[in-house]
Structures are given as structure tokens and as C-alpha cells.
Amino acid sequence: MPQIRIKDYASEARIFHARLFILTIVILILVSLLLGRLVYLQIGYYDHYATLSQKNRISILPITPVRGLILDRSGAVLAQNFLAYTLEIVPDQADDVSALLQELGKLIQLTPKDLKRFAHLRKQRPGFESLPLRHRLSELEAARFAVNRHRLRGADLRAHLQRHYPMGSLGVHLVGYVGRISDSDLKRIDRAVYRGMNYLGKLGVEASYEDILRGRAGYEQIETNAHGRRVRLLDRRKPHAGKNLYLNVDARLQAVAEQALGARRGAVVAMDPKTGGVLTFASTPTYDPNPFVNGIDEASYSLLRESPDKPLINRALAGRYAPGSTIKGFLGLAALESGRKASKRTFCPGYFTLRHSRHRYRCWRKSGHGSVDLQRAIVESCDVYFYDLAAELGVNKLYEFLTGFGFGRYTGIDLDGEKSGLIPSPEWKRRVHKQPWYPGETVITGIGQGYTLVTPLQLAHSLSFIANRGFGMQPRIVYAIEDRADKLIKPLKPTPSDLNPVKNKQYYEVVIKAMTDVVHGPAGTARRIGYNAKYRIAGKTGTSQVIGIKQDEVYIEKNIAERHRDHALFIAFAPVEDPRIAIAVIVENGGHGGSTAAPIARKVMDFYLQKILPQKTLGVIPSATPAVAKVKKGRLGRGLSGHKRQRSHAQN
């Protein structure tokens, strides 16, 4: 029989209160225990722990990793590291920092800039950290310091790896450079990742592949004595070196391109159309990146910055130019795709007029081409044919086709700072200019003028769609990544461009035949580079109008005439049957695409396809007609209310 108990409230309360009392006593005992411990730590052994905290501390010293190398496709070194000595000071270890600086000044040359930078660092960093005072000491200076070291407490030499670009200015816009981590860099980077590092990639591949090149810092945990000197090593974790990058770019080809451009301002972009691998990525003028590594001096920098040639601009990547007639091949495809027969003829009397308008849009050939079909229109670059085509397709179709080939949008190249260019649309004009779209603007878009802007990179990329007969690849500077630990070279996978232009292969053959005749035909605008070529080239010349000078540009008489000249453009791929190179050349103020830009493309292709080094003279052929489609200044603007002619070029 279960025992039945009744709740006895009085007894329960008594038990509870007794237990509560016991626990309260326990609490009081435990609190006194804690207090006792704290008295022991904070009062009894205060001196001991204060000493531990201040002097006998365990410090963690980062070990800088070796930055990855940058090499061209055949292994030529474009960026490397070499050992340099840096004089560093730990302010906490010095008895008197200003006296120390004075002593050091007698042994080693210290510029006011060095001292200023050191003072600046000293304000920002804790006193137990080693701060750089002078970089790149000479052997003599290093030796002089070593002899006197015993009386220079707080100062020490440290061997650093210093970035160096052995090819100097070659491909500077492509390779880029590293620089000291600046205050503004500090705001955006993860400081923990950069512990122990003084440089980071600022431009080009150095910047875009920073995460891969950088590597990971190791560290040493050391115990230091009361004077802050290292007592013993407790733990060490090895740094991980950054990975090496192999580029698609061929340094020799790059040199050929840069030499071909010579003293002119311009850009050459060549890619392998099948992989998107960028073979050459030249922008001139170039400059030497090496002074930037440790901070270029103000005078040299302003010289570069103020130069009217704007060497700092990466023209290949961010230079925006009107594509001019180079766009005609793409529009030819648009014509075929939208149902126009290749044989359909347009009569060119030397000008074009829109219905209900008397304004004349002129062809570059005043006397007119007569009756032209698509083939002849591309070969001889007849403007009227394309005025007519543009008017027929309408601006929306133009926009659709041109963006379908990658114009007006980012190519997705693995370099930061790419510009998207511009393919205008009525919607864009309404949004940006708050104005309606005029029919005349459609007409001039048909010959690549007006608002249309493209980059040399885009031209090469879009051209690869034609070269490949229907597909394009995203441009890639880096070919492969090499892990230093396992020496494994891992090629990156080529990425197709996610675009959907004209699919029908026959349309491409029609346009490619015409573009081949541009180079090899008797009336082609680039026939001067075709007649002696050992392989077949398909190309298209173009001219980009330059109008006016920028408002903030200084008026320099000697320059003005040249600066008003048109930009010369040329795009080409070769061999026609199985293209291995697609190239876009722009020569600023170069005049005619056929005479200025095309020979540069030829030199690059010769070298790439036949390993022929360029000769000074390529031979001169008699010139019959000016081989460029060109609309002269002043002809366009009239009748186009709202269309602003004043267009600045790449340097805006």
C-alpha cells in the first residue's frame, strides 16, 4: 500500500529556509574566495604581474611572405623580388629617439622625407613595433651601420624583399606595380592579413591578383626581456609564399607592339580568339613602374600626371574612342541577321538624306561609290550604305546587335579599372541627357560616330566573335597560377563570353570575305599591308573623330595641330581560315587607319605568326584614294539639334 503523505506547508517552508540559509553562507564564502584571489593578484602580486604585463611579454612578430612572381607566357620575368636592407627603429628600445636619429644621420644619409615619414609612423604605431626609417641602404651604408651598431640601441637593419620590374616600362599598364600601403589603403584592407607587409598591388595585374600574389604571413612568438630584446623563440609558423602568375601575354610581342606604336599615343590589344588569352596589351606612352614601389617623388610624379600625353592612362583598358568604320563589319552581320540580302544594293551619290529632311550625311568619298552591295560597302567603307542600313534597322536594333557583340559592356577581363564604353539608346539619352532621340543620331551611329564609344580591349574582344564565327571568349591576362610549394602550374579555364550575337555561320563568311578584301582586295582600305603578307588577314580600318580640345587642357600651339587630327583605328584577325590572333590598334591623332594603325597590326601579327621581327620599312604602295572612311568635321552637326559634337576622346 503506497504511503500517502500530505503536504506540510510549515515544515516545507522551514526546510527551504534552512537550505536557503546554507546556500547564502556558501555564496558568501565563495565571494570571499574570489575577493581573496583578486587581492592576491591585484594587491599582493601586483608588482609581479605589472612587470609581466609591461616587460616580460610574449610578442608576436610577423614574417613577411615572398610575393609571387609575374612571368610572361614563356617564363620571362616581369615582376620579381630582390633583397634590400632597411634601417628600422623600435622607439621603445631607444633611450632617446631624436639623439639616435642624429647619430644615424652621421652614418647614413637621411632625407627630410625619410624623417617626416618616420615621425608620421611613430604617431600611428605602438612604440614596441619596428618602424622603417630608410629603405634600400647601399652596401657601404649597411656596413657602416653594422660597425657602429653596439652604440645605436633601438636601431637595426632588416633585410626586406623589394619588388622590382626588370623590363622597366614594358607593359606597365598591364603588369602594374606595388606601392607602400598608404593611409587610405589601410581603411579598406584587412590589417590582420597585411601584418608584416609594407606593400600591396596598386595597379594592373599586381592589384587585380593581389590576393594570389600576396601570400600569407607567418609569425614568430618570442619572449623578450625587460629591455625588449629577444630572449628566445617560442613558436614559429612559416609564411606561405604568394603564387606565381604566368600571363598569356608574350613579352617580346608586347615589345614589338610598343615599339611599333613608338612615340605615338595609342593602344594595341591582341588576343587569341579561341581562348580569350590576351597576347599583347600595350598602351603608350609608357613609364617606368620601379620608382613607384617606394613612393615616387613629387616632381617626377607631377611630370607624369601633367604630361599632355597622359602616360598614366591605360588606353587599352580605359581609353574610350568612337569606333568609326571598324564597326561596319558588325553592322554587316546585323544586316544579314535581320534579313537584308548581301546582294541588296544601295546607291551612293556621295551623300545620304533621311526622308522628309534635306540634311545631307556625307560619304567620305565626295563623288560617291555608285551602286554598292554589302561586300563593296565594307571593302571600300561606303558610309552611305551604312547610313541607309542604320536608318532601316533603327536605333533599338543597332543597340541590340552592338551590345550583343560585347560593345557598351564590360568584357570581364581580369584587370581592374575596365571601362564599359557606350552604345547609345533612346532610353539612355533620356536618362542621361534628358533629351529625346533624333533620327539623325541613328544614322551616324551606323558609321560608329556620335555617342558611340568603345575601348581597344572591347574591339579585340568583339572581333573575336567574327574570327570564331559566332562565339567569343572573355579576355584573360593571366594564363596560369603556380603554387611555389608544389611547383604545380595550374592553367585557368578559359571562359566563354555570355553573349548571343548572330549565330548563322554563313553570315560570318560573307562578312569575313569582305573584311579579307579590305586587306587583300585591290580596292581595300588596308591593302597596303596585304599585298606582301604570307598569310591571309581579315581587317577593317576606321577613323575616330577628335573634335576640339578639353577645356582644362593648356593651349600649346605646337601640339594643337596634331591634336586635332583624327584617331586611326584598325582591327584584324589572321589567318583568316583558322584565326590565331585578333588585334585592335588605335593610334591617337594618327590620321588614317589604313596607313597608320594597320602597319602596326601587321608587325605584331608577323611576329606572332611568323616570328618575323619588324623591319623599319614595309614598302610603300601608290595611294589612289584616301583609304579611310571619314566624315569631316562640321558635316555632322548641322540639323542634329541636341547632338553635341564636342566630344572629348580617351583622355576625358
Which positions touch another protein (CB under 8 A)?
5-8, 11-12, 15-17, 19-20, 23-24, 27, 30-31, 33-35, 37-39, 41-43, 45-46, 48-50, 52-54, 57-58, 126, 221, 234-235
Instruction: Tell me the CA end-to-end span of the chain in Å, nearest whole number.
Output: 102
In this complex, which beta carbon is closest to another protein, that of residue 126 or of residue 634? 126
Nearest distance from C-beta of residue 121 to another protein, angstroms: 18
In this complex, which beta carbon is closest to another protein, that of residue 218 or of residue 614? 218
Nearest distance from C-beta of residue 92 to another protein, angstroms: 12
In this complex, which beta carbon is closest to another protein, that of residue 235 or of residue 427? 235
- For 152, 266, 379, 404, 626, the CA distances from 622, given in Å and listed in that order, are 76, 26, 18, 39, 11
Nearest distance from C-beta of residue 8 to another protein, angstroms: 7
- DSSP secondary structure letter of residue 149: G
In this complex, which beta carbon is closest to another protein, that of residue 45 or of residue 347? 45
Identity of residue 515: M
CA trace torsion 577, 582, 587, 591 (10° rounding): 30
Q: Please give the Cα distance from 256 to 589 (Å, whole number).
A: 21
Q: Which of 53, 138, 300, 325 is catalytic?
A: 325
Cell numbers at 72, concatenated: 610572361
- Cβ atoms of 212 and 481 closer than 8 Å: yes
Q: What is the 3-state secondary structure (H, E, C) of 106-140?
A: HHCCCCHHHHHHHHHHHHHCCCCCCEEEEEEECHH
Nearest distance from C-beta of residue 224 to another protein, angstroms: 13
Report the relative pairing of strands 77-89 and 131-137 from DSSP bridges: antiparallel
Judge whether 338 counts as a catalytic residue: no
31: three-class secondary structure by DSSP: helix
In this complex, which beta carbon is closest to another protein, that of residue 234 or of residue 432? 234
In this complex, which beta carbon is closest to another protein, that of residue 11 or of residue 551? 11
Nearest distance from C-beta of residue 161 to another protein, angstroms: 27
- Cβ atoms of 534 and 502 closer than 8 Å: no
In this complex, which beta carbon is closest to another protein, that of residue 69 or of residue 131? 131
Q: What are phi and psi of 33, to 5 degrees?
A: -60, -45
Nearest distance from C-beta of residue 11 to another protein, angstroms: 8
Instruction: Tell me how far the alpha carbon of residue 244 is from its chain's centroid.
Output: 18
Q: Please give the Cα distance from 521 to 509 (Å, whole number).
A: 16
In this complex, which beta carbon is closest to another protein, that of residue 231 or of residue 560? 231
User: How buried is 142 (Cβ within 10 angstroms: 0-12 exposed, 13-18 middle, 19+ buried)?
Assistant: middle
Nearest distance from C-beta of residue 506 to another protein, angstroms: 54
Asked whether the CA dihedral 569, 575, 578, 579 is positive or negative, the reply is negative
In this complex, which beta carbon is closest to another protein, that of residue 42 or of residue 138? 42
Instruction: Give 80's strand partners.
Output: 164
User: How buried is 80 (Cβ within 10 angstroms: 0-12 exposed, 13-18 middle, 19+ buried)?
Assistant: middle
- For 192, 334, 387, 570, 582, the CA distances from 353, given in Å and listed in that order, are 66, 21, 9, 28, 35
Nearest distance from C-beta of residue 236 to another protein, angstroms: 11
Q: What is the DSSP string of 598-641?
A: HHHHHHHHHHHHH-PPPPS--------S--S----TTTTTTT-T
Nearest distance from C-beta of residue 20 to another protein, angstroms: 6
Of residues 76, 256, 174, the one with CA closest to residue 457:
174
Cell numbers at 625, concatenated: 584614294
CA atoms within 13 A on the CB side of 468: 23
Q: Please give the Cα distance from 232 to 215 (Å, whole number).
A: 26
Catalytic residues: 325
